[in-house]
Structure formats: structure tokens, C-alpha cells
Amino acid sequence: ETGVTQTPRHLVMGMTNKKSLKCEQHLGHNAMYWYKQSAKKPLELMFVYSLEERVENNSVPSRFSPECPNSSHLFLHLHTLQPEDSALYLCASSPTRDVQETQYFGPGTRLLVL
Amino acid sequence: AQSVTQPDIHITVSEGASLELRCNYSYGATPYLFWYVQSPGQGLQLLLKYFSGDTLVQGIKGFEAEFKRSQSSFNLRKPSVHWSDAAEYFCAVDTVSGAGSYQLTFGKGTKLSVIP
């Protein structure tokens, strides 16, 4: 298996649930990203990890909690979400954190919060 | 603050016709500019990028883009569109975050429909 994979592809959860999104990259990259893609809004960068260290947190609410146990895996833990959090969550990776690097995206997890 | 604008939300072209997708940015210095494409149900894929040098950049799938500093534009072009080009296209520019690091800022995207 190659590239960037994300599981699950679709997720429906209630506002009181706790769930986790998983991202895995098989490219040997050192940087990983979480983006939120909502309808009619630009892609929003949420978190950036470089060599397993969080280097960017773009004012994301604490109900989203990222985890990067190693350079190949990235998680997004979700708890007490709101309906407005419904969106496509995209994971990406790049060789380094350098902004010039090409980012490789996974297919995303489509999240619906009821 | 740096920003990127894609004026066209949705464009429809006939297969075989030429295509130009517009992108404008606001940035003081020479920006790093990118075009990504997102096919239905897929993540984003890089088409091309510009950092410096030749202002006409060639990308994958027959796409090209031209950086025009005087117009603050980085428009994407393709001479003959194929049905498989139907997708959403995102322009992006490097920007400085509140924490002082560089990150990509994306436009809202242009959805391309292709008529057979």
C-alpha cells in the first residue's frame, strides 16, 4: 500500500460521542497535516506535525485533539463536537515542513455530526 | 494579511475547448504559488508550483500556469480539456501564520464541469 490513507472514510457521530480519525503515510515523510474542508469555505489548516512534534495549531477548538505517535501515523481525536464541525477532514504529508514541499493528500474522512 | 482569490466558483467548458482558471493573490514579496486538483471523493493532488525563474510553469496532465507579478495573478491553463479534467481546482499561496511560520493558504476553489 502506498501514499496517504485515511480511515474511516465516512463517520457519523452524535455530539456526545468520542471518535478518532486515523491517517497513515507510506512515503517516508517527516511532516504531517490535518486540514478541514467545509462547503463553500477555503481549506483550513488545523495542525502541523514535523518529526512527531506539533509545530502549528491554528486556533483549533480543544474538542479536536491531534496525536502523532510516529512519523507515519497521525490521529485526530474528536469529542463533544458540534454540528458545524461536519466537514471533510483531510490528512496530508510532505518530506519536510518546508512550505515549498509538495503535500500529498489522503482521500479524507467525511464527518457528519448530529 | 496574505490571501488568495479564485473569482470563479464554477466553470463549464466543452470537451476539447481551452481552459483558463483565474487566481489572484495579495502578498508583498514574491510568493510561492501552487495549483492543486481534487477529483470527486479524492484528496488534493499537486498540478504545478512556482517559486522563481521562468514565469510559465508546466505541470502534470497538460496543465500550465503563468505568474504575472504586475497583475498579482497565477492563472491555470490547458489548451484542450478532457472529460476526466472535471474536478475542483485550488490555488494556494504561502502565507505567514500567527505563530510566524509559513503555511499554505488555499483559495475557495473553482469547480470545473466538462460537457461531452
pLDDT at position A89: 97
The beta-carbon neighbor of B46 closest among A59, A102, A106 is A102
pLDDT at position B98: 65
The beta-carbon neighbor of A45 closest among B42, B46, B103 is B103
Q: Which three cell numbers stand for residue B59?
A: 505541470
Q: Which three cell numbers stand for residue A37?
A: 474542508
Digit-coded pLDDT (tens) for B9-56: 999 999 999 999 999 998 767 789 999 999 988 899 999 999 888 899
Are the C-beta atoms of residues A94 and A29 closer than 8 Å to each other? yes
Which residues on adjacent β-strands are paired with residue A7? Answer: A22
d(CA B15, CA B68): 27
* Cα distances (angstroms) measured from residue A47 to each of A5, A18, A62, A94: 17, 19, 12, 14
- Running along chain A, 114 residues long, what does each successive block of 10 average in pLDDT? 88 93 96 93 91 82 94 95 95 92 95 95
d(CA A49, CA A34): 9
Digit-coded pLDDT (tens) for B43-65: 999 999 998 888 999 999 999 99
Query: Of A28, A29, A11, A30, which Cα lies nearest the Cα of A77?
Result: A11
CA B37 to chain centroid, in Å, comes to 8
pLDDT at position B99: 65
Contact A107 B42 (CB under 8 A): yes
Q: Give the residue numbers in B contacting A (CB under 8 Å), as ranges.
A: 32, 36, 41-46, 49, 51, 90, 94, 97-99, 101-109
Which residues on adjacent β-strands are paired with residue A73? Answer: A24, A70
Strand B33-38 relative to strand B44-50: parallel, antiparallel, unpaired? antiparallel
What type of residue is A46?
M
Those residues with Cβ within 8 angstroms of residue B25's Cβ, 6 or more apart along the chain or in another chain: B2, B3, B4, B5, B31, B33, B72, B73, B74, B91, B93
What does the angle CA A34 – CA A62 – CA A20 come to, to the nearest 5 degrees? 55
Contact A55 B102 (CB under 8 A): no
Digit-coded pLDDT (tens) for B68-105: 999 999 999 999 999 999 999 999 998 776 666 778 89
Q: How many CB pairs under 8 A join A and B?
A: 53
